Amino acid sequence: MPETRLAAPRLHRAARIDDAIHGFRVRWARRRGHLPTVIPYAGYGSTSRIRVLGRVVLVKQPKPGSRAAKTMQRREDRVRGWRSFTSVPLGDVDVLIEVEGIRRTVRADRGGVVDVSVDVELEPGWHSIAMTAAGSEAVEAPVSIVAPGTDVGIVCDIDDTVMVTALPRPFLAFWNTFVLDVHARTPTPGMSVFLERLTAEHPTAPVVYLSTGAWNVAPTLTRFLSRNLYPRGPLLLTDWGPTHDRFFRNGREHKEKNLRRLAEEFPDIRWILIGDDGQHDEEIYGEFAVEKPGNVRAVVIRQLSPSEAVLAGGRSKPDQQLAGSAVPWVFAPDGAGLLEQLEELGRA
């Protein structure tokens, strides 16, 4: 009997158009001498398996005698600000990953994003791994290794949770795309102290920032978190543009998928889930707490101010999420109030 091959899933029309435009941009960039580079993102994992994150783009070479050329600025350092969106992603290319002598070649997706798991043998703490695409320079990506026996972790939203956006939701993507100056972003009052106290109380607890923002802004968000003294941790963001089956990526699905993945990767960790009441965080966290109560230590919701709630399109209804939940919930407008309530419950 002849072998039957399954047909590849048909791409959404928007994805096919996006691929055609992208192919033209890649050819245009290569003709002008742009070279590949890997933009490394912080990863995480256990002592035996890690999640490696990065993105391959084509980068313009500096002109001879320019400041970038004189300072020997690395290619990945030149993809900052608005250039992170105008740079051309290079999809479907091989990327070499080196971890403590282990070499593995993986494939970037159609958007140039690398998101793979690699078996390792590493001690707890922060490590550096090397990532190289064909024709690119090797870059180092940080990876946080969670210590065995860790039973508390932190998952934290970004927009309107650790950073005040004060913008209507329809314009939030535009803001994150083009207003990328770290100084233009305002930290939420008391949230950095709140997270610092949690990590001080649980020094081995991993901190993961889970957001619907695009990978393009990861370097800017990382600098914002560092400048405002938030705990160090990997970002789990999403790619920009159409997927293979829809016009835009589903932000809620992105968060739900990563929460379930964290529960599978660290079955013994109970997560403190931090978000705000202006998006779907309450609903997402509430459903996850009902589905996997053994993986949730507490749900922490930052309440938006009246003006922020109007811009966010209103508040969610917490009673719908609290029903059936076996984990504690706390609500407050700032980090100080959230910390106080969490300490009263003995979950800080």
Q: At what angle do helices 191-201 and 335-344 cross, to 10 degrees?
A: 30
Of 108, 106, 137, 143, whose CA–CA distance to 124 is shortest?
143
Structure tokens at 161: 């949770």
Structure tokens at 148: 């065995």
- How many CB atoms are located within 10 Å of the residue 102 CB? 13
Single-letter code of the amino acid located at 220: T
Residue intervals of the chain classified under CATH 2.60.40.10 are: 31-145
Structure tokens at 52: 């490696």
From the CA atom positions of the chain, what is the Rg in Å?
Answer: 21
**Rounded distance, CA 338 to CA 328, Å?**
12
Of 194, 190, 187, whose CA–CA distance to 231 is shortest?
194
Which CATH class, in words, describes the domain spanning 152-344? Answer: alpha beta
**Rounded distance, CA 154 to CA 170, Å?**
28
Residue intervals of the chain classified under CATH 3.40.50.1000 are: 152-344
**Rounded distance, CA 96 to CA 304, Å?**
44
**Rounded distance, CA 286 to CA 282, Å?**
6
pLDDT tens-digit map of 282-304: 999 999 999 999 999 999 999 98
pLDDT tens-digit map of 114-124: 999 999 999 99
Which CATH class, in words, describes the domain spanning 31-145? Answer: mainly beta
270-276, strands of its sheet edge to edge: 235-238, 207-214, 152-156, 270-276, 296-302, 329-332
Residues 6+ apart with CB under 8 A from 57: 36, 37, 39, 79, 87, 88, 89, 90, 112
**Rounded distance, CA 305 to CA 333, Å?**
7
> Based on the number of CB atoms within 10 Å of its own CB, is 33 exposed (0-12), middle (13-18) or buried (19 or more)?
exposed
pLDDT digit of tens for each residue in the chain (348 aa)?
Answer: 443 444 445 555 655 666 666 666 666 766 777 788 899 999 999 999 999 999 998 887 666 555 544 444 454 454 554 455 556 888 889 999 999 888 999 999 888 899 999 999 999 999 999 999 987 889 999 999 999 999 999 999 998 899 887 555 555 555 555 554 555 568 899 999 999 999 999 999 999 999 988 888 888 889 889 999 999 999 999 876 544 444 455 678 999 999 999 999 999 999 999 999 876 899 999 999 999 999 999 999 999 876 555 444 545 555 545 555 678 999 999 999 999 999 998 877
